Amino acid sequence: MSTTVNSNKPRRALPPLMSLSESAAERLGALYAKGQHGKLLRVSVGTKGCSGLSYRMDWVDAPGPGDEVITDRGLTILVDRKASLFLIGTVMDYETKPLSAGFTFTNPNEKGRCGCGESFHV
């Protein structure tokens, strides 16, 4: 008995690993041009907080062997390959509020967050 697999089925397009909102691109571009000139932003996921996972951002000089290189809106960011499954489809934004400003993440893979918003789970 033999089984034939039809490989002519159209494949569903995968969402981008990560993308930048317009405000995140503006802020990151300003950081790349000034204080972090010559560096790249690496996004990763670490274990922290009550929900178990948290976003990490670090400045690095060059991509490492475990980095995915993402280019969006003319800017390059790095994503730690170990975090890829947690971040597929994530949009990085930059929000300015009356008492704070910073990068935020809209991640379709998140199933919940802790009460303080510092950590998440998938």
7 domain residue, yes or no = no
CATH number assigned to the domain comprising residue 63: 2.60.300.12
Contact 120, 112 (CB under 8 A): yes
Higher pLDDT, 86 or 73: 73
Give residue-wise pLDDT tens across range 25-69. 999 999 999 988 889 999 998 876 665 788 899 999 999 999 999
Q: Identify the domain containing residue 92 by its residue range.
A: 18-114
99 in any annotated domain: yes
Cβ-contact 95, 105 below 8 angstroms = no
In a domain, residue 12? The reply is no
- The token pair at 91 is 């949009």
Give the pLDDT confidence score for residue 53 in this predicted structure.
81
Overall domain count for the chain: 1
Would residue 93 count as lying in a domain? yes
Could you tell me if residue 48 is inside a domain? yes
